[in-house]
Structure 1
Amino acid sequence: MAALSPDAILLTGRVAVVTGGARGIGLAVAETFAAFGAHVAVCDRDKPPFGEPAMTLDVRDPVAAEVFARAVGERWGRVDVLVNNAGGTFHAPFESLSPRGERTLIEENFTQLTAMIRRLLPLMAPGSSIINVTSSEAHQAAPGFAVYAAMKAAVESLTRSLALELAPRGVRVNAIAPDALPTEGEEGVRERMLADGSLPYEPVRLPPLGRLGDPVEAAGAAVFLAGDLARFVTGTTVHVDGGIHAAGGWRRT
């Protein structure tokens, strides 16, 4: 097999779909993909700043999500990369979490993701890539976020199973598990949790690398998984967390 060229890192001409792409990690992924040459379609509950198409919608709404998927197909005729970034959470001890709140967490972090994959998979040819954005909570305890963490763990399991199911058709499936990458939404959840004072726990913020990260660093991992540099990578998770997952119970002083 011929050696990879420097152009292997580029996404020139590829069609990428990013859900939850109006801010935070999703926006960083969308902007970075565009900088690396991709055509990017974006959807979000907030108005996306760019995209072809760029649509404002709730991915939990099956009608709106179907309209978005059809618009992508009509505009480009194919999807080369799907980044399932949309999701969300709120702080609630398990005993106080209502059935409605639980359904919301399940729909927002799992059901909408499987539905989006089903909608766009017919547009994905051999060589395509699905990237699911999970969380460090998929791999560790998350008091006050039990159902959210369970759904992220479900996405991790789904990623591995789909990687095997879709390997015969040449579609790769991987995940990114970010942590310590402050975003507007993440900071808001943290502040409300600490103000609530109902749990005797506080998340550790300083990772082994000694600094907080930036959403663009998650975008770098997504560029790798989307392109030819990762053409033999499937069924795995890239932890973009400054070493938090590796550290386990060890914390830098």
Structure 2
Amino acid sequence: MGDLFDANSILLTDKVAVVTGAAQGIGEATARLFARCGASLSVCDRDADGLADTVAGLRELGADVHADVLDVRDSEAVDAHVAATVERFGHVDVLVNNAGGTFVSSFLDVSAKGEASLVAENFGQVTHFIRAVVPHMTDGGSIINLTSIEAHQAGPGFAVYAAMKTAVSSLSKSLALEFGSRRIRVNNIASDAQPSGGEKGARDAMLASEPEFLPAYVPPLGFFGTPEDSAAAALFLASPLSRLITGTTIHVDGGNWAAGGWHRPDDTTADVRDSL
């Protein structure tokens, strides 16, 4: 019997991937890794300067790239972005829903407007991108939703954000069943302990707010990862190597979820905070 996979099975040659929130962090790292593996890229972000840097880097790697500056909460802009992607490339093979965001606040201090923004940015735009892209996945495909460790544990100070990440995790399971007959796989990456500009801003704000709870910063593996660690998981889920994997979550967190995540601060954790 011949081998099902070989060294080329990880490549994305002739594949078209849409990556949201590609100006920095996991989105940028994923787009760059996909480009190195042969994919054509469609990327978007509301950070025009950061997105321009990402696009320049992708083109240096030889990738064919379409890019739009947009707010993922703007449904008309999302539709236009997907339409332009299909006009450029003809179809889509991979969708990476990476864009999202949050702010630090106790639940009782979150206004109705603030909550609506969190819901739109972390859940509504994910469902909209999926509805827009799936009709153009003509030969199977892979949908990769970036959730968070907070989808699987409490998120004090981020309650609505954590709830939306949990919602995306549940959505992925349901859509894995709905899209199975189309051979479209739907999976999650739950990341943590991978410093980036946005992630560092949220942690700094949390520390400044003197919260009752703090997350466990140092993973059981003993080191912090990088956005490239989540990008590597995304490459696996985008490639044929994961052809039988759908409706599941890969935890890229150094073991923090297994460790239980949150704890009350004490003198020891104060020392950890001061060293960050």
Q: Among residues 107, 119, 123, which one is paired with 1:110 in the alignment? A: 123
Offset at residue 202 of structure 1 (A): 1.6
> Which SS does the other structure have where 1:53 is aligned?
strand
Q: Which residue of 1 aligns with 2:62?
A: none
Offset at residue 162 of structure 1 (A): 0.2
Offset at residue 249 of structure 1 (A): 5.8
Deviations 1:39-63 (A, max 9, x none): 0110001121216211110010111
Offset at residue 138 of structure 1 (A): 0.3
Q: Among residues 225, 231, 236, which one is paired with 1:224 in the alignment? A: 236
Give the structure-2-normalised TM-score: 0.88
Q: Aligned partners of 1:177 and 1:42: how far apart in 2?
A: 21
Any residues of structure 2 matched to 1:65-104 within 5 Å, and which?
A: 65-104=78-117
Aligned residue pairs total: 251
User: Given residue 226 of structure 1, which amino acid in structure 2 is its aligned partner?
Assistant: A
Any residues of structure 2 matched to 1:96-245 within 5 Å, and which?
A: 96-197=109-210, 199-245=211-257
Unaligned 5+ runs, structure 2: 59-64, 264-268, 270-276
User: Given residue 127 of structure 1, which amino acid in structure 2 is its aligned partner?
Assistant: G
Q: Aligned partners of 1:77 and 1:126: how far apart in 2?
A: 12
Verify: 1:32 aligned to 2:44, yes or no.
no
RMSD between superposed Cα atoms in Å: 1.5
Maintained 8 Å contact 1:21/1:43? yes
Identity of aligned residues (%): 56
Q: Aligned partners of 1:135 and 1:72: how far apart in 2?
A: 27
User: Given residue 247 of structure 1, which amino acid in structure 2 is its aligned partner?
Assistant: A
Verify: 1:9 aligned to 2:10, yes or no.
yes
Deviations 1:19-76 (A, max 9, x none): 0011000000000000011001100011212162111100101111111011101001
Q: Which residue of 2 aligns with 1:41?
A: 42
Offset at residue 2 of structure 1 (A): 4.0
Give the structure-1-normalised TM-score: 0.96
Q: Aligned partners of 2:21 and 2:262: how far apart in 1?
A: 32
User: Given residue 31 of structure 2, which amino acid in structure 1 is its aligned partner?
Assistant: A
Deviations 1:145-176 (A, max 9, x none): 00000000000000000000000111000010
Offset at residue 125 of structure 1 (A): 2.3
Offset at residue 127 of structure 1 (A): 2.9
User: Given residue 196 of structure 2, which amino acid in structure 1 is its aligned partner?
Assistant: T
Offset at residue 183 of structure 1 (A): 0.6
Q: Aligned partners of 2:126 and 2:144: how far apart in 1?
A: 11
Bigger Cα displacement from structure 2, 218-227 vs 41-50: 41-50
Unaligned 5+ runs, structure 1: none
Q: Aligned partners of 2:78 and 2:167: how far apart in 1?
A: 21
> Which SS does the other structure have where 1:16 is aligned?
strand
Offset at residue 128 of structure 1 (A): 0.6
Maintained 8 Å contact 1:127/1:231? no
User: Given residue 109 of structure 2, which amino acid in structure 1 is its aligned partner?
Assistant: S
Offset at residue 250 of structure 1 (A): 9.4
Q: Aligned partners of 1:18 and 1:247: how far apart in 2?
A: 30
Offset at residue 129 of structure 1 (A): 0.3
